[in-house]
Homo-oligomer: A and B are copies of this chain.
Amino acid sequence: MAFTYLSNYPLEEARELFLRALGEAGLKPRVERVPTSEADGRITAEAVYARICAPHYNACAMDGIALKASQTYGASETRPVTLPENSFKWVNTGDPLPDDCDCVVMVEDVIETEQGVQLFGAATPWQHVRQIGEDIAAGDMVVPSFTELSPSALGALLASGVMEVPVIRKPIVGIIPTGNELVAPSSNPKPGDIIEFNSTIFSGMMQDWGCESKVYPVVSDKSEEIIIWLKTAIAECDLVLLNAGSSAGQKDFSVEAIQTVGSVVLHGVAIKPGKPTILGMTTVGEQVIPLIGLPGYPVSGILVLEQLIKPVLGMMSGRQIRAPEFVEATISRRLVSSLKYLEFIRARLGKVGGRIVAVPLNRGAGVVSSFVKADGIIHVPQNVEGYEAGEKARVELMRPMKEIEQTLVITGSHDPLIDEVIDIMRRTWSDSFVASSHVGSMGGIMAVKRGEAHLGGVHLLDEASGEYNRAYIRKFFPEGGVVLMRCVQRTQGLMVAAGNPLGVEGIADLPRLRYVNRQKGSGTRVLIDYLLKQQGIDPSAILNYDREEMTHTAVAAAVAAGSADAGMGILSAARIYGLGFIPVCQEEYDLLISESALPMEPVRRLITILRSDEFAARLEKLGGYMLDQPGEIIQWN
C-alpha cells in the first residue's frame, strides 16, 4: 500500500490538485438531448439557436381590415378615403396578414358604407402587425452554452421551433455506506446499532446540487466486498462516495479499495473535521470517474462534500458554483483551535445591538443537529490558534443575511415551552426566525449582558431572599438596560423511573441513588445545590453528582435509559419520557429581555404569543405550568 499514513494538504491546495488531476485526465460534462418542455432547470450543453422565427408569420395584431397603407394616404377627418369591398380583407387578431397587405386598421376606425368602407385617417405601413421574427429571428442564438433554462427560456425555445435541447446529463452520484454496525433507520434500535442516515443526508445534498443519487446497500467492513460494490458503482455512476473507512486504521479499507480499482490523488486534508478524506479517480473508456472516500461522522462528511466535492460536481454538471458568502462576526466565547488544521465550527448567528454575533455550537463530528441549528460556519484558519471572546472572525453564511438580521436570539435556561413558542411563531408569521440555545439561567444572563442574545429564560433562586430572578438582575445589571417579563410558574421535582421502583420520596433519598445533574450555572443546579444545603446533605455523597446534562430532557433521557436513578427537572420533561415525578417546589421561570430589543418586531410577536390562548393550551398539554399574566413586565432595570 502506497498510502499508510495521512498527508496534511491545506484545503485550497488539495482542491486545486484534485481539480487539476481530474481536468488533465479529461473529466467533462456528459450530454443528453431532452424534450424542451421537460428541460426546466437543466443546463444547456451547447448554444441553442432558433429554428423558426417568432412570430413565425406576419400576424394581425388587431381585429379589423388588412390593406396596403398606400391605399389610405391623404385620408383625414374631413376627407375620408373610401375603399371598395375587394380592395381590403376583414381579419381577426392572430390571422396571417394577407398577401399584398402591409398593415391593419382597427375595426373601431372602420366605417362600413354601401360603397365599401370609409377611413378617416391614413394608416402607416406595418401598423398593428406583429412582424415575422419581431421577437426572435430564425438563426438567432436563443440561449448560450452552460446556461440554466428558466421557464421563460423554454417558452422562447418552443416559440422558435426548438423541440429538443442538448443539456448536460445530471451526474449520477453513487453512495456506498460501509460498516458492520450500520443498521437501517428505525425508531427502536438496539444499543450498539449505528443508524445509517448519512446516505439520506448525502443523497439530499446531491439532489440539491442538481445531481441524481444512487444509494447502495450497506457493505460490511471487508476489503473484497467493498471492492465488488465499488466496481458496480463505477459501472453505473459518474462519481462514487465511499462512506466511511477513509482513515488509515486497521478497519479502514477505502484507500486500498480505491487503489485497487483506480488511483488515489491524495489522502488526508488539513481540515477539521474531515481530515481522513480520500480523493481518487478511475476511468471507464473515455469517462473519468472521481472516487471519494468520506469520513464516517456526518458532520465531517457534509463539510468535505461542501468544501472539496462541490466544485468537482460543478465541473461535471456545468452549474455555476456560487462562491460562499462570508460575514465578519463577533465570537461569543473563547474558541481554541489547532494550528495544524483549518477548522470549521458551526455557529448560530444573530444581530444583537447592531452587530452580528456568532455563538459556536457543539463541535462533535457526530452532532448532526448542529447543522440543523447552524446559521453559519466559523472558519478558523490553519495558522490561527483560535479566538478570544469578543474577537471577530470570518463566518460562512448558511442562511440569507436578511433572515439572520430578522432572527430573534434566545439564549438561556431550557424549557420545552420555548420550542412551543417558536412553533406558534412560525405558524403565525412565515417570516419569523428564532435561534434558541440552552445554556442555563446564568448563561442566559451573561449572554444578554454581553449583547449576544435578545432575551433568555431565567429561574434563579436567591438563597438569601428566597425570591426568584429579581435579585440576580439587580446584581448583574447595576446600570440597567434590561427588563424582566413574567413567563410561567412551573413545578420542579425529582424524575425517577416509571412507577418509582426505588421508592424515592424526596431530596433526602439522593445519597443512595445514581444521580444525573444539570450543568453549573443552570437554575435547576442552583436549586438542587440550595436544597441539599438546606437539608445538610454533602453533594460529594451523591453518586455521579458531577455528571452534567444541558437540558431537562437530556436528564430525563438518562433516567429513562437507566443510566441514572434520579435527576432534578420539570414535570413536562418527565412526562415526555413517561417517568415518575416527585414534586419538590414551584419556581418562577421568567424572560430576561434586553431593553433595546423590546421594540423589535420579533419580541412584540413573542409577547403576543405569551398572552395567547394557544400558548396556554400548549402549556396545559405539556403539564406542570401555571400562568399568571404572562407577558407582563415585572421589573424594569
* Residue of B with least CB distance to A60: B192
Q: Which of B131, B198, B430 contacts A146 (CB 8 A)?
A: B430
Contact residues of A between 337 and 392, Cβ < 8 Å to B: 362, 364, 366-372
Contacts of A480 in B (CB 8 A): none
Q: How many angstroms from the CA of A431 to the CA of B95 in the assembled complex?
A: 43
A541 at the binding interface (Cβ < 8 Å): no
The reply to whether A161 and B140 contact each other, CB–CB distance below 8 Å, is: no
Contacts of A368 in B (CB 8 A): 54, 135, 152, 155-156, 159
Contacts of A94 in B (CB 8 A): 181, 192, 194
The reply to whether B133 and A553 contact each other, CB–CB distance below 8 Å, is: yes
State whether A367 and B200 are in contact (beta carbons under 8 Å apart), knowing that A126-B547, A144-B426, A430-B318 are contacts in the complex: no
The reply to whether B189 and A56 contact each other, CB–CB distance below 8 Å, is: yes
The reply to whether B191 and A57 contact each other, CB–CB distance below 8 Å, is: yes
Q: Which of B197, B198, B208 contacts A41 (CB 8 A)?
A: B208
Contacts of A364 in B (CB 8 A): 130, 134-135
Contacts of A371 in B (CB 8 A): 150, 152, 155-156
State whether A158 and B136 are in contact (beta carbons under 8 Å apart), knowing that A47-B419, A546-B125 are contacts in the complex: no
A55 at the binding interface (Cβ < 8 Å): yes
The reply to whether A151 and B205 contact each other, CB–CB distance below 8 Å, is: yes
A147 at the binding interface (Cβ < 8 Å): yes
Q: How many angstroms from the CA of A61 to the CA of B317 in the assembled complex?
A: 38
A110 at the binding interface (Cβ < 8 Å): no
The reply to whether A159 and B195 contact each other, CB–CB distance below 8 Å, is: yes
Of A9-17, A71-79, A279-287, A557-565, the stretch lying at the interface with chain B is: A557-565
Q: How many angstroms from the CA of A228 to the CA of B68 in the assembled complex?
A: 43
Minimal beta-carbon separation of A415 from chain B (angstroms): 12
Q: How many angstroms from the CA of A136 to the CA of B576 in the assembled complex?
A: 14
Contacts of A321 in B (CB 8 A): 430
Mark A141-170 against chain B: 1 for CB-CB distance below 8 A, else 0. 111111100111111101101110000000
A203 at the binding interface (Cβ < 8 Å): yes
Q: How many angstroms from the CA of A51 to the CA of B573 in the assembled complex?
A: 13
The reply to whether B138 and A204 contact each other, CB–CB distance below 8 Å, is: no
Q: How many angstroms from the CA of A611 to the CA of B419 in the assembled complex?
A: 62
Minimal beta-carbon separation of A134 from chain B (angstroms): 7
Q: Which of B51, B58, B187 contacts A163 (CB 8 A)?
A: B187
Contacts of A23 in B (CB 8 A): none
Contacts of A40 in B (CB 8 A): 203-204, 207-208
The reply to whether B320 and A58 contact each other, CB–CB distance below 8 Å, is: no
The reply to whether A51 and B187 contact each other, CB–CB distance below 8 Å, is: yes
Q: How many angstroms from the CA of A131 to the CA of B242 in the assembled complex?
A: 27
* Residue of B with least CB distance to A140: B553
Contact residues of A between 30 and 44, Cβ < 8 Å to B: 36-37, 40-41
Mark A509-550 against chain B: 1 for CB-CB distance below 8 A, else 0. 000000000000000000000000000000000001011010
The reply to whether B549 and A133 contact each other, CB–CB distance below 8 Å, is: yes
Q: How many angstroms from the CA of A131 to the CA of B516 in the assembled complex?
A: 12
State whether A187 and B161 are in contact (beta carbons under 8 Å apart), knowing that A136-B369, A156-B372 are contacts in the complex: yes
The reply to whether A138 and B186 contact each other, CB–CB distance below 8 Å, is: no
* Residue of B with least CB distance to A398: B150
A227 at the binding interface (Cβ < 8 Å): no
Minimal beta-carbon separation of A160 from chain B (angstroms): 8
Mark A465-495 against chain B: 1 for CB-CB distance below 8 A, else 0. 0000000000000000000000000000000
* Residue of B with least CB distance to A367: B135
Contact residues of A between 558 and 611, Cβ < 8 Å to B: 558, 560-561, 563, 573, 576-577
Mark A258-297 against chain B: 1 for CB-CB distance below 8 A, else 0. 0000000000000000000000000000000000000000
State whether A145 and B553 are in contact (beta carbons under 8 Å apart), knowing that A58-B563, A162-B187, A372-B150 are contacts in the complex: no
Minimal beta-carbon separation of A124 from chain B (angstroms): 9
The reply to whether B416 and A139 contact each other, CB–CB distance below 8 Å, is: yes
Contacts of A145 in B (CB 8 A): 423, 426-427
Contact residues of A between 167 and 205, Cβ < 8 Å to B: 181, 185-189, 191-195, 197-198, 200-205
Contacts of A202 in B (CB 8 A): 151
State whether A146 and B187 are in contact (beta carbons under 8 Å apart), knowing that A151-B201, A577-B138 are contacts in the complex: no
Q: Which of B150, B369, B551 contacts A156 (CB 8 A)?
A: B369
Q: How many angstroms from the CA of A606 to the CA of B18 in the assembled complex?
A: 28
The reply to whether A200 and B553 contact each other, CB–CB distance below 8 Å, is: no
Q: Which of B59, B197, B372, B420 contacts A158 (CB 8 A)?
A: B197
* Residue of B with least CB distance to A305: B151
A451 at the binding interface (Cβ < 8 Å): no
Contacts of A122 in B (CB 8 A): none
A630 at the binding interface (Cβ < 8 Å): no
A458 at the binding interface (Cβ < 8 Å): no
Given A135-B368, A139-B556, A152-B371, 8 more A-B residue pairs with CB atoms under 8 Å apart are A52-B188, A52-B189, A143-B372, A152-B302, A155-B200, A156-B369, A159-B197, A163-B187
Using CB atoms and an 8 Å cutoff, list the residues of chain A in contact with chain B.
36-37, 40-41, 47, 51-59, 94-96, 102, 125-126, 130-147, 150-156, 158-159, 161-163, 181, 185-189, 191-195, 197-198, 200-205, 207-208, 298, 302, 314, 318-321, 362, 364, 366-372, 416, 419-420, 422-423, 426-427, 430-431, 544, 546-547, 549, 551, 553-554, 556-558, 560-561, 563, 573, 576-577
Please list 28 pairs of residues, one from A and one from B, whose beta carbons are closer than 8 Å in the complex, sorted by A's number: A37-B185, A40-B203, A40-B208, A47-B419, A52-B188, A52-B189, A54-B368, A56-B195, A57-B561, A94-B192, A95-B192, A133-B553, A134-B364, A135-B369, A137-B557, A139-B577, A144-B426, A151-B200, A151-B205, A152-B298, A152-B302, A152-B368, A153-B372, A154-B200, A155-B198, A155-B368, A158-B185, A161-B187
Q: Ordered nearest first, which 3 A-B pairs have the shortest CB separation?
A: A151-B204, A139-B576, A152-B371
